[in-house]
Structure 1
Amino acid sequence: MSRSAAIAPTKTHRDENFPVASHLIARPLRRAVLAFYRYVRAADDIADDGALSSTEKLARLDAFERALVTGDDSEPLALALHDADARFGCGIEEARMLLDAFRQDAVKARYADWAELRDYCRRSADPVGRFLLRLHGEQRHPDGAQAQEAADALCTALQILNHLQDLEKDRVVLGRIYLPTPWLDLAGGEAAFFDPANGDARRALIDAALDRVDRLIDEARFLPGLVRSRRLAAESAVTLKLAARLAARLRRGDPVMTRIDLGKPDFLVAATTALASLPRRRRDPAPAITRRIVAASGSSFRIGMAALPGARRRAIHAVYAFCRVIDDIADGCAPMAEKRVFLDAWRREIDALPDAPTTAIGRELASAMRAHHLPCAEFHALLDGMEADARPRVRIADDTAFDLYCRRVAGAVGVLSIHIFGAPQARDFALTLGHTLQIVNVLRDVADDAAMERVYVPLSRLAAHGLSDAPARELIRDPRFGQVCAELAGEAEAGFVQVDAMLETLDRARLKPAILMMEGYRALFARMHARGFTQGGERLRLGWRDKLALAARALRRAPS
């Protein structure tokens, strides 16, 4: 009896997180999918067999691969997939890529960085999507290459979700940890990461990994609209819904402390909502992706955005989504080297605009760039600011460095925004307002920033009050720090006066979204001023009455 036939599989296709050979797939093709799944499951079980040495695992995987290539009838699972490949022209090539990943599992237990993990997923997950595309003949269509990119993104997202879901089980049962070692080091190392008492550090790292997964899911949202098969489109749409649900559940729970699973109700809800919303004609999901990012941010800037007409609002959503995503990279709990890699990927995306975007946000930015002549240099300025924020310890040396930081992270947004508003001549207004609003941000976020070992109040100003650099939380508790903040607040107050004067000669109707944003900040600043700038109390926010008043003004749209 063959090895694969002698051992009962650890799972069947009904036990997986995501649909395998569901009834959305046509019956003749479903048999091929099951042949592929059963062969791959058996190979995976060999790689995961704790009773075998690495050498034995590799030998058995090699024999299992030879059986697949030759169609050895002593290995029924290999023979079934061999026959399916002969009929449909796919299966063997993809299974051999997966076998390469399983060989890696037999000898490798830790990962050096995110790129290494992605490379593993390229072989351990992406071939599944490619097999389904080839089985349905999708590679023969003009959109085949794009569909493959979207399918790769989905399969990698699913694999990483499974790794996060199985963090504890993989470590205890298999001795493997797929979250890269330098990430674990940020929590104090492997033992500290898995320590039940270290939940906050673990939470931050899992969320940072889920941020990467969210971007992959965004790129995968193009898949249902790219494939010609309605059945495969439906299958991929359901899988996308399930991936998003599992990602959200992993954000709410701790997979190290308790098993986080999807249940039958999740499958029912995902199938119902996915099939109901499946477009009857191709529809670009990119605008909905940027809208979703804006909505999830909870930013008060949304009120100003709402004042814009449709096309301009779509463009500002693209800019804000870009800002939100790169800010999440800078603020996320990932190693500095990884953050640079992620930000560099966005630099390449910006350099590719407007002709060759590769991401959903990039596609929306390309459209906005063509329509509103957005200067590419401003996006790079934002990325420069995020690189400064991404450092594990942030200090600003003096006023010159502070002005440059404000110009990058806030002035750049202002310049891009006035192009979208249709008022590019208001550049000085945009830069002055951006600088003013950033001072308010710095004053509002002192405690939150200190928790991340960031101090944006210039060290030269602190030195003038006799304060030397020290751990951030220690610095902000000194009464002299509050005195420096009060001085900085005076500059913000003067900035509001200056932009008010500038507006006297500018087109207020076109700048209405900026004015709404400014008024929201002015109301927030007034509350901060009334409370004072000694550290203590909760982070101030706009109340619902403030937001309601601003929203009412936003409903009176700016001119198109």
Structure 2
Amino acid sequence: MSAGAGQSSKRPRDENFPVASLVLAPEHRDAVVAFYDFARMADDIADAPDLAAAEKLMRLDALERALVSGDPAFPQAARLHAVDKQHKAGLIQARDLLRAFRQDVVKARYNDWAELIDYCRFSANPVGRFLLILHGERDSAQAPADALCTALQILNHLQDCGKDREQMGRIYVPIRWMLAAGSETAFFDPSRTAIRRNVFDAMLDRVDSLIDQAQSLPEHLQNKRLRAQSIATIVLARRLSQCLRHADPVLERVQVSKADVCTAFLRGLRGTIQKPSPSDRHVTAAVVRRSSSSFRLGMQSLGPERRRAIHAVYAFCRVVDDIADGAAPASEKRVFLREWRRELDRLHRAPETPIGRELARASTLFKLPLEECHALLDGMETDSAERVRLADDYELGLYGRRVAGSVGALSIRIFGAPSAHDFALHLGRTLQLVNILRDVDEDASCERVYVPLSRLAQLGLRDAPAATLVADPRFARVCESLADEARSGFEVADAALMHLDRRALKPAILMMENYRRVLDRLQARGWGKREGRLRLRTADRLHLITRAMRPA
């Protein structure tokens, strides 16, 4: 009986992320090719369209027996058996892959993100572990290598989602996530691009977090060639993630370009010449760079250590906010937020993410109250609900304290003005009121209404679908009263600043002036006629830049 299901036309060089790159040393390349050929053969069996499931499983079992025994009747298995005998690497990892291939034969859907990640533990991570053992690398490289392999696998699943469904009936987008479109059929409907886009972006947020965790991999690798390979692979992973954010893989083939591959190769080559510098600070700085936050100007006014610390706080805020605002199901969002609670709990022992490690460093340097990070997560849990309503002013105040006051309480300690705690909490509430007023329609599209129901009830408005509430003329009158409160809040902040260190609080002042201008524009536009999210004008931004360049 032949183990194969036909000759595979795919070679290592044809993959998005070739494992047998010419960058690797010749003494390792043959072993890697042997591992690849075995995996390719097993994959072809699992994917064979002309074989029944029982036949596929029987062939995979035969292939595993040949791998363990080194049976020469199965050349791919015999070669990998010899590799394992020489290098003590290959057999365990290949058997894990076979477990994933058997799963592909019998399982075509994944309920949630955890199931998908568990599948990647066997379908992807063994490849990285094989390379690490083959090169004699340290155990510290395993966690970032696992993160990279999982990221690559999910990127490939997204890239091939249309083809996998059409040709093999498999879908790796979790069922619960597809239900955002109503059903699997609706999700893959070519006309449902916008809903599909939101789900893809939410999945890519998770993938990008995995790539961030993998960013430290080159630092742990002693073999220069493997380090170069890892750098090039990380660069390509980031690039493919970007490409998938700008195209719909259901409608078209999305892939990196030859120029992208060349760029990645050159970046990797540089890794053979110089050892990479610690990457965690670069990860948090990149989060800030990618943002369009008006807070960036204030951050740039800080010295290097304080800037690094505020980058850590901002990156944490950004990633948990993206979780809350993303298209993942509410139950999944709660899981992801709980993962961040666990990361906070181990912050001063062994944080597992680059943001966590940078946050731990900032916490030690500036004595940050980490309970404020937990308070922010409480606020994000509110935002993660499928439907958000605040009953009264107390709930509005509590929500603002959690999502904005917490950030202020952390920031003023980094700024070097811990005595401004009350100022930070009050300003945080004021800025959050402006956020609520600015984002009324955007929030309503997600079935969120942050204007308290008690205030609406005073004008005869009862709870209803968000779009109905914000379209009612009476809703505008409540917005006017909240705007008056925000205006008074800025005046109170101005008075408080007369007794505080304005130089230390310059980043907060810049933030305050930015939001004051937003409120000015909102009030000038009026509350009855809203035409999308308000953006500051060029003149407003130039004013803020001018203020940032001069002393507070």
| TM-score using structure 2 length | 0.98
Shift of 1:275: 3.1
Whole-angstrom CA distance in 1 between matches of 2:153 and 2:119 = 10
User: What do the CA deviations read for 1:42-64 (whole angstroms, capped 9, x no partner)?
Assistant: 00111111211111111110000
Count of aligned pairs between the two proteins = 552
Shift of 1:535: 4.0
Q: Is 1:280 the equivalent of 2:274?
A: yes
Contact 1:447–1:535 (Cα < 8 Å) also in 2: no
Instruction: Give the structure 1 partner of residue 340 of structure 2.
Output: 346
Give the alignment of 1:504-519 within 5 angstroms: 504-519=498-513
Contact 2:3–2:62 (Cα < 8 Å) also in 1: no
Whole-angstrom CA distance in 1 between matches of 2:496 and 2:162 = 59
The verdict on how the C-alpha distance between 1:422 and 1:56 changes in structure 2, with shifts beyond 3 A counting, is same
User: Structure 2 residue aligned with 1:313, among 297, 303, 307?
Assistant: 307
Contact 1:414–1:431 (Cα < 8 Å) also in 2: yes
Q: Which aligned segments of 4 or more residues in structure 1 are displaced greater than 4 angstroms?
A: none
Whole-angstrom CA distance in 1 between matches of 2:294 and 2:272 = 32
The verdict on how the C-alpha distance between 1:46 and 1:402 changes in structure 2, with shifts beyond 3 A counting, is same
Counterpart residue identity of residue 112, structure 1:
N
Shift of 1:279: 7.2
Counterpart residue identity of residue 125, structure 1:
A
Instruction: Give the structure 2 partner of residue 247 of structure 1.
Output: 241
User: Structure 1 residue aligned with 2:205, among 203, 207, 211?
Assistant: 211
Instruction: Give the structure 1 partner of residue 162 of structure 2.
Output: 168
Instruction: Give the structure 1 partner of residue 259 of structure 2.
Output: 265
Whole-angstrom CA distance in 2 between matches of 1:175 and 1:557 = 63
User: Structure 1 residue aligned with 2:531, among 530, 534, 537?
Assistant: 537
Counterpart residue identity of residue 33, structure 2:
L
Whole-angstrom CA distance in 2 between matches of 1:177 and 1:188 = 16
Instruction: Give the structure 2 partner of residue 94 of structure 1.
Output: 93
Contact 1:287–1:364 (Cα < 8 Å) also in 2: yes
Work out the percentage of aligned pairs sharing the same amino acid: 58
Instruction: Give the structure 2 partner of residue 478 of structure 1.
Output: 472
Shift of 1:359: 0.3
Shift of 1:355: 2.5
Contact 1:72–1:78 (Cα < 8 Å) also in 2: yes
Q: Is 1:292 the equivalent of 2:300?
A: no
Shift of 1:191: 0.2
Shift of 1:556: 4.7
Cα RMSD after superposing both structures: 1.3
The verdict on how the C-alpha distance between 1:209 and 1:469 changes in structure 2, with shifts beyond 3 A counting, is same
Q: Is 1:551 the equivalent of 2:545?
A: yes
Give the alignment of 1:393-432 within 5 angstroms: 393-432=387-426
Whole-angstrom CA distance in 2 between matches of 1:372 and 1:398 = 35
Q: Secondary structure at the match of 1:186?
A: helix
Counterpart residue identity of residue 63, structure 2:
F
Instruction: Give the structure 1 partner of residue 30 of structure 2.
Output: 31
Shift of 1:273: 3.3
Instruction: Give the structure 1 partner of residue 44 of structure 2.
Output: 45
Q: Is 1:3 the equivalent of 2:7?
A: no
Whole-angstrom CA distance in 2 between matches of 1:492 and 1:275 = 54
Give the alignment of 1:110-149 within 5 angstroms: 110-138=109-137, 144-149=138-143
User: Structure 1 residue aligned with 2:223, among 225, 229, 235?
Assistant: 229
Contact 1:374–1:419 (Cα < 8 Å) also in 2: yes
Shift of 1:269: 1.9
User: What do the CA deviations read for 1:54-111 (whole angstroms, capped 9, x no partner)?
Assistant: 1111111000000011000111111111111111110111000000000111100111
Contact 2:397–2:429 (Cα < 8 Å) also in 1: yes
Contact 2:366–2:413 (Cα < 8 Å) also in 1: yes
Shift of 1:557: 7.1
Unaligned 5+ residue runs, structure 2?
A: none
Counterpart residue identity of residue 394, structure 1:
V
Instruction: Give the structure 2 partner of residue 190 of structure 1.
Output: 184
Shift of 1:532: 1.1
The verdict on how the C-alpha distance between 1:370 and 1:75 changes in structure 2, with shifts beyond 3 A counting, is same
Shift of 1:350: 0.7
Instruction: Give the structure 2 partner of residue 141 of structure 1.
Output: none
Q: Secondary structure at the match of 2:349?
A: coil
The verdict on how the C-alpha distance between 1:523 and 1:380 changes in structure 2, with shifts beyond 3 A counting, is same
Shift of 1:292: 0.6
User: Structure 2 residue aligned with 1:460, among 454, 459, 468?
Assistant: 454
Q: Is 1:328 the equivalent of 2:322?
A: yes
Contact 2:141–2:221 (Cα < 8 Å) also in 1: yes
Shift of 1:540: 1.4
Counterpart residue identity of residue 315, structure 2:
A
Unaligned 5+ residue runs, structure 1?
A: 139-143
| TM-score using structure 1 length | 0.97
Contact 2:228–2:271 (Cα < 8 Å) also in 1: no
Counterpart residue identity of residue 96, structure 2:
M
User: Structure 2 residue aligned with 1:438, among 432, 435, 438?
Assistant: 432
Whole-angstrom CA distance in 1 between matches of 2:269 and 2:392 = 57
Contact 2:135–2:223 (Cα < 8 Å) also in 1: yes
Instruction: Give the structure 1 partner of residue 62 of structure 2.
Output: 63
The verdict on how the C-alpha distance between 1:221 and 1:302 changes in structure 2, with shifts beyond 3 A counting, is same
